[in-house]
Chain A
Amino acid sequence: MKKEQGHDIYGLMGEFLTPEQILHAAAKAREAGYKYISAYTPFPVEGLAHAIGFPRTGVPFLTLIGGLGGGLTGFGLQYWCSVITYPLNIGGRPLNSWPAFIPVTFELTILGAATFAVIGMLALNRLPQPYHPVFNVSRFAHASSDRFFLCIESRDAKFDLAGTAKFLQSIQAHHVHEVSNAE
């Protein structure tokens, strides 16, 4: 029974009015032992990620990689061009005029880091992702304006349509919406 529910129901979504409410709701849901919870808010709510048990992001690490990569490429490129493959006497300056190579190295470091940060963030967020079941909830449009949503997914072991709905109401959900997989 759960199974076919699982097929057409993505989960249940509680709608809340304030950040405080959703924080509180998220905490409660965790206590109730739900694992697959996600929260949707019109602006970043402090502590929410922690509340739904999402400790750390991979973005900083990726950024570091990008930065190092960019920097090394930058200096390497210049050194290779000016010393190895195309050495020229330029106004009596040494082939490896490393002080003159710093600016480009620096710029490429920044470029690498920045691109990795953004692309990394998008990738980890699985973006772009034009379709997602939560969009099937008409009220969800308010998630980008003035409403806060807590979604408990159907794949959660403790998930059960009636019970979970009751639970959501119990934690002062303003509304409870069924999120269906099918459009």
Chain B
Amino acid sequence: MSTTPPPGDLPEIRRLDPVLEPGHTYASVTDKIAAVVLTQPPTTGWIVGFALSFTVVMVLFISLSWLIIKGVGIWGINIPIGWGFAIVNFVWWIGIGHAGTLISAILFLLNQKWRTSINRFAEAMTLFAVACAGIFPLIHTGRPWMAYYMFPYPSTMGIWPQFRSPLIWDVFAVSTYGTVSLLFWFVGLLPDLATLRDRAKTRAQQVIYGILSMGWRGSAHHWHRYQSAYLLLAGLATPLVLSVHTVVSFDFAVAIVPGWHTTIFPPYFVAGAIYSGFAMVLTLAIPLRKAYGLEDFITMRHLDNMAKVMLATGLIVAYGYFIEFFMAFYSNNKFDVFLAQQRLHGPYAHFYYALILCNILTPQLLWFEKMRRNVAVLFVMSLVVNTGMWLERFVIVVISLTRDFMPSAWGRYLPTFWDYSTFIGTIGLFVMLIFLFVRVLPAIAIAEMRELVHEQSDEEKS
């Protein structure tokens, strides 16, 4: 990659990396990206990866079947710890989802060109993460087959859900989030589906992409309405994405459990979500650009920016941790103070320290450009942050429950095999969906890339 300015250029202003390496034409970007889907045969790497993730999905199915047969008792949960891995994973997955929407919506509104080449698979990631997250609220109930009670439907008994419960808010927030993300994604895909349709070689491809593209012709009228719809969607998705994790944080903030009952939760959950989300985007982007030689489209500029976002959100999260402690001692509420001490000295202290290490200390490396530009470091870092954010949810959900108001009822939590298998199973599902996605849909928004090419040529002219 060429960061060194050509002679004659002004040396004192260091030129930013391009969001698209020069020398591309409308045709070349189209070919290159579409080829991945249309012409390139699946690489052995892809086949192996897909096979592996598929196996893990089978583990998920087994775990779920056993769960339905025996009941949630196969997990480590008990009284007082009524929520364990299931809810931890739910919050974690939902959080990961957020980056996708954020990139495609907020960065779009802020007119950040660099989002273009990553928003497509970031959004895909969102959808898949939400899919994984959605599994948990359903299966964590004692009687999953009755979960539909949570929806307001005219039952013969004339009974309705209890709308004061944050769990109901979750139902609406998550389903809305899923739907809107899907629409947003589909709208973005529409022109590219048309491209694939027009370049499809086999009949099957033509039919499938033909149907999906709905007869998109790219006429000026289409584009005009398309753009206003896309802009509106972006404008709607932005408050939505913020609201979703706020609502998720209400699950805890609204309860009276010490360690849950804090006003800092909404902002700090959202920040955490973006934090883990960007980490996951990196985790996916880095291997993806390598595997399909998309370095020209996902450039160092992208990685660098995402690293910066991680650093920023990481600091907000750190602030959240600090405020929790501050409020405990400032309010001098005996339960909060006790909890704060528990975090540091209690039986689960090591989790807390691990969390601090992963979420606060390690990311400080990102202050250094060298680190931000070292792909390997970034990749490892992204994994560390994902782990850290998972630990954060564990600390919040489980540790707060182990020691609340009645010392006589204090208990502890130890996950069982089935807790782990279910969690890993959803990771498998997520990876498998990603693998499918890169094979059947353009991982990068082609139409938007063409715009980039256009703008680039304008720049060169000027």
> Which positions in A face B, CB cutoff 8 Å?
19, 26, 38-45, 48-49, 51-52, 54, 57-60, 63, 67, 74, 77-78, 81-82, 85-86, 88, 90, 93, 97, 100-101, 103-104, 106-108, 110-111, 113-115, 117-118, 120-122, 124-125, 127-132, 134-135, 140-146
Contact = CB atoms under 8 A, between A and B. Distances in A.
Contact of A108 (B172, B197, B232, B233): B172
Contacts of B240: 107, 110, 114
29 contacts: A39-B220, A41-B220, A41-B223, A42-B447, A43-B223, A43-B454, A44-B224, A52-B220, A54-B220, A58-B225, A82-B160, A85-B160, A100-B164, A107-B173, A110-B180, A110-B243, A114-B236, A114-B237, A117-B183, A118-B229, A121-B225, A121-B228, A125-B225, A127-B214, A128-B211, A128-B215, A144-B218, A145-B199, A146-B450
Contact of B198 (A63, A110, A130, A144): A144
B335 interface: no
Given A38-B221, A41-B223, A127-B215, 14 more contacts: A44-B447, A59-B229, A63-B229, A82-B164, A88-B162, A107-B169, A111-B179, A113-B232, A118-B229, A121-B228, A143-B217, A144-B197, A144-B198, A146-B30
Given A78-B163, A118-B233, A131-B215, A45 B30 contact: no
Contact of A121 (B159, B191, B226): B226
B214 A110 contact: no
B269 interface: no
B93 to A, nearest CB: 18
Contact of A100 (B163, B218, B236, B447): B163
Give the one of A38, A44, A78 with max B CB within 10 A: A44
Give the secondary structure class of B's interface.
helix
A103 B248 CA distance: 11
B207 to A, nearest CB: 10
Interface in B155-202: 158-164, 166, 168-169, 172-173, 176, 179-180, 183-184, 186-187, 191, 194-195, 197-199
B164 A145 contact: no
A135 B233 CA distance: 29
Given A90-B162, A107-B172, A134 B217 contact: yes
Nearest to A91: B164
Given A38-B219, A52-B220, A145 B152 contact: no
A132 B451 contact: no
B98 to A, nearest CB: 15
Interface residues of B, number: 62
Nearest to B445: A43
A44 B227 contact: yes
A52 to B, nearest CB: 6
Give the one of B214, B229, B239 with max A CB within 10 A: B229
Given A39-B220, A81-B152, A114-B183, A129 B198 contact: no
Give the secondary structure class of A's interface.
helix
A104 B163 contact: yes
Contacts of B351: none
B220 A107 contact: no
A117 B218 CA distance: 18
A132 B216 CA distance: 10
A43 B448 contact: yes
Contacts of B158: 85-86
B69 interface: no
Contacts of B195: 42, 144-145
Give the one of A48, A78, A85, A146 with max B CB within 10 A: A146
Contacts of B250: 103
B110 interface: no
Contact of B168 (A19, A63, A104, A106): A104
Contacts of B198: 140-145
A2 B409 CA distance: 90
B26 interface: yes
Return the 10 tightest CB-CB contacts between A and B, nearest first: A128-B214, A121-B229, A146-B26, A81-B160, A141-B198, A44-B223, A129-B215, A49-B224, A103-B169, A144-B195
A100 B220 CA distance: 45
Contacts of A44: 223-224, 226-227, 447, 451
A138 to B, nearest CB: 10
